[in-house]
Structure 1
């Protein structure tokens, strides 16, 4: 009975803390969104630059739906605000769960969170600066003669966001491998021995999650294969360090 009486206030305190963290996260996201809304059209112009650079002189995007010129920049501003505020959102999640973690878990969680954010940003940057120009250059060259490539702004935004999410998520591969190794699901040696199967799986995954063109598939599979090797090295190093730290804590 006493345990139930003590547990109720603790649960209420946790719920209040959770509400506060969620409110801070949402407030930060909305603040960034409000700052970006006046620049929605400029953001879209920058996003459309890789395609416009590959179109013939006079080529342009079109708006098929009446409200597209309003909703497409708004959607892009929200996505950009989410990307920019991601460290703040993750910090709020971390601040909520950190008090319940052991010191060993905190030592591992901080670098993993930082690495995951950095890798996601790196994947999006790789997609924007390297993949999109290559993809659009390929697509514009294979267009049948007499066909003018005039893409709808909403369809273009959806296409680019899918590319960003695909590359950003795929660049998280080393973090996923390290977490699996730390949890004991796999060992670094097993990851190394499964390299051949992993390469085949990477190419299949690249074919599934990218748009149906060979260029984007190859440009996703190649860095993922390199990141798989990075994941093997990182998992071996961190697992060894984790075991050493656990032994020191036990002593």
Structure 2
């Protein structure tokens, strides 16, 4: 009788230990690729624990996960991908390779080859290295900026009247505002391309209803805008973390 109880107890402990082992978090190592090339900046989220990591410049990532849990791979310009983790994924000594696909854009086709670099500069229409202006910047350049010294030219008949008229009706001021708005819109587009809304909510812990306001907040930071223009995602992510702390302090003080 005692022997039977002992066997039952040992069997029970074995079952409990086995069950515990199956639910234990393990570190999974993998690589994200696109067209056989590593992809940086992919958001990898454990849909069960909501742990989120980002692939590095070599496409590599490491995330704690349990067997049968689902990892979600996402990026703004790529199709989202879900991958259920199996026992074989842990057993393999090789990296887990995850291949992403590009989102298809309707009515837009881009063909890239060695002959696509045909520009106005290459054709000799404009000098190479000449600054290119947007429509808003061209309008501002045409309108001109009024300076009091221009009044001296009025006496000799050499002063252009457009800057003076624009000073009176405020058109130059409005055009300057248009240039700033255009720059802000471009920065917001670059920000949306590098980081999706899930990154702000899950990684930076920004309340979902404040995400758009936070985007406006960071695009007012000249250092961050300079990093956006350089397309350095790693530096952008680092500064975003600092700005997120400041922003959350601001909204916290406003809610008191």
- TM-score class normalised by the smaller sequence: under 0.3
Structure richer in helix, relative to its length: 1
Normalised by the length of structure 1, the TM-score is: 0.28
The answer to which structure has the higher strand fraction is: 2
Structure showing greater relative contact order (alpha-carbon pairs closer than 8 Å, 6 or more residues apart): 1
Larger radius of gyration: 2
